[in-house]
Structure 1
């Protein structure tokens, strides 16, 4: 990563960078609710690309829930049941990560870029509020959600969209993500892409920033 004198902008992923996630948890929960195996639920997810459609804005909250009810063959599930199972992907939010990001606002322009869904963003903001922290929209200068942009990482178009919309110079910008493909795609545009890999957390990578 460049020295502080040339680094002006920081872009953060959300899942497993700011908030720890368990990608298998929703599958487990929906499997229990539907009395199916986890493999069966995963196969349905992949066959119909439910997550991809939802996270790129092709379907809204209502259509997503209706798809889940139809494909898992249970018309009686309330919205709250589906939302709760869907949100089990989100683990406890480490408040110290939020505090460090708030400190960085003094010296850098901060942005969020996440492949995500409206249900997840509402839940993360509820968690932040309960911790007396600003919402994501308040914490960052701008947030870029895949369902709003209608493009998902690692597509190069989403990184170019962020650079253009926010008026950023790639070489003056660092991007933190846990996914290797996302990092590789951003780096090809000249962004200083940093992969956050366990057991290290974003706090380790932000020590020298």
Structure 2
């Protein structure tokens, strides 16, 4: 029986498509060239593991002077990249909490970027428990962060229902016996919550 529901945040509660933002501020061909030359998502992984946000972006900008101005936009435009919120998913979070279902987050997020996100998206302060990679210095899909959730909540296996948009993150949870949902859209997530008996169709609408 599900005792708690766990939400990923990026592309579950908030859209996270950096390439889309860069396509708005530079020609797509140039953006593709930049992302082919520089592992910007790798840079972001360092931040998600707890590296300082501004200093990390500055270091990468210095490393690639051809793209310095564009790389700095990763810092300066961050809230524009982490947007918009996904309203139906936010309603599901609140509907679960209104029913008394414990709701946790398990997210790859930097320390400073998560603080920014919480200011901009107040619903990110509504979780019963939050497990943020930057604070924990470990990130999905490494098993250790899932173990941390289990240890701190006293829940494991089929007591947990976890939604994430990435197959590798889902795979680790599945290996630990968690119930999982590969998030593609909020309607599918709503249907799963109804199927699990956690919400009625009206509550999930």
Say if 1:72 and 1:111 are closer, same or farther in 2 by CA, change over 3 A.
same
The verdict on how the C-alpha distance between 1:44 and 1:187 changes in structure 2, with shifts beyond 3 A counting, is: same
**Residues 148-198 of structure 1 deviation map (CA, whole Å, 9 limit, x = unaligned):** 111121111111111112221222111111111111110100111111124
Contact 1:26 1:87 in 2 (8 A): no
Cα distance in 1 for partners of 2:10, 2:41 equals 23
Structure 2 length as normaliser, TM-score?
0.78
* Distance in 1 (alpha carbons) for counterparts of 2:160 and 2:11: 20
- The structure where helix makes up a greater share of residues is 2
Equivalent residue, structure 2, for 1:91: 83
Answer yes or no: is 1:152 the counterpart of 2:139. yes
- Does the Cα contact within 8 Å between 1:12 and 1:111 map onto a contact in 2? yes
Unaligned runs of 5+ in 2: 199-205
Alpha carbons of structure 1 residues 46 and 74: separation in structure 2 relative to 1, 3 Å: closer
Moved over 6 A (4+): 74-77
TM-score, reference length from structure 1: 0.77
Residue of structure 1 in register with 2:95 after alignment: 103
CA RMSD of aligned residues (A): 3.1
* Cα pair distance change 1:92/1:164, threshold 3 Å: same
Farther off after superposition, 45-54 or 153-162: 45-54
Pick aligned residue for 1:66 from 23, 43, 58: 58
Residue pair 1:12, 1:176 contacting (<8 A) in 2 also: yes
Q: Determine if the alignment matches structure 1 residue 203 to structure 2 residue 195.
A: no
Offset, 1:40: 3.5
Q: 1:26 to 1:63 in 2, by over 3 A?
A: farther
Tell me: CA distance 1:48–1:14, structure 2 relative to 1, closer, same or farther (3 Å).
closer
Is 1:20 the counterpart of 2:1? The answer is no
Which residue is 2:45 aligned to? 52
Q: Which residue of 2 aligns with 1:3?
A: none
The count of aligned residue pairs is: 194
Contact 1:17 1:201 in 2 (8 A): no
Q: Distance in 1 between matches of 2:41 and 2:170?
A: 27
Matches of 1:122 and 1:147 in 2, distance apart? 11
